[in-house]
Amino acid sequence: MKTVINIKTDLKLKRDAQKLAKEVGIPMSLVVNNALRKFVTQRAIFIEAPLKPTKWLQKILLETEKDRRAGKNIEGPFYTAEEFMKGTRS
């Protein structure tokens, strides 16, 4: 028995998916059903997103890299949490 699922999705995502499905010659229902089958059989959902740091974090990372290259503000290495705590308090 077949049923219908109504979902809300981004219009661009829908159009891009329809275009790609048409290019490879498969119906959109196959794409959606395949995703649902994987979800049910693996009992997991895998979401991938590129890691993009915030502007604040990008700034901190750049400053940290500059310091590392200049040999500034470097402590350690620390091999235990206790060593780390002693190193930052002195």
- Clarify whether residues 32 and 69 are in a common domain: no
The amino acid occupying position 82 is: E
How far apart CA 28 and CA 31 sit, in angstroms, is 5
- Clarify whether residues 67 and 43 are in a common domain: no
Could you say which DSSP state residue 71 is in?
T
Could you count the other beta carbons within 10 Å of the beta carbon of residue 42? 9
- Clarify whether residues 6 and 44 are in a common domain: yes
- Clarify whether residues 41 and 1 are in a common domain: yes
Which pLDDT score, from 0 to 100, does residue 37 have? 95
- Clarify whether residues 39 and 62 are in a common domain: no
How far apart CA 53 and CA 57 sit, in angstroms, is 6
- Clarify whether residues 4 and 35 are in a common domain: yes
pLDDT tens-digit series, residues 56-79: 999 999 999 999 899 888 787 888
- Clarify whether residues 82 and 43 are in a common domain: no
User: In terms of residue numbers, what domain contains 26?
Assistant: 1-48
How far apart CA 44 and CA 38 sit, in angstroms, is 8
Q: Considering the entire predicted model, what is its pTM? A: 0.50
Work out how many domains the chain is built from and give that number: 2
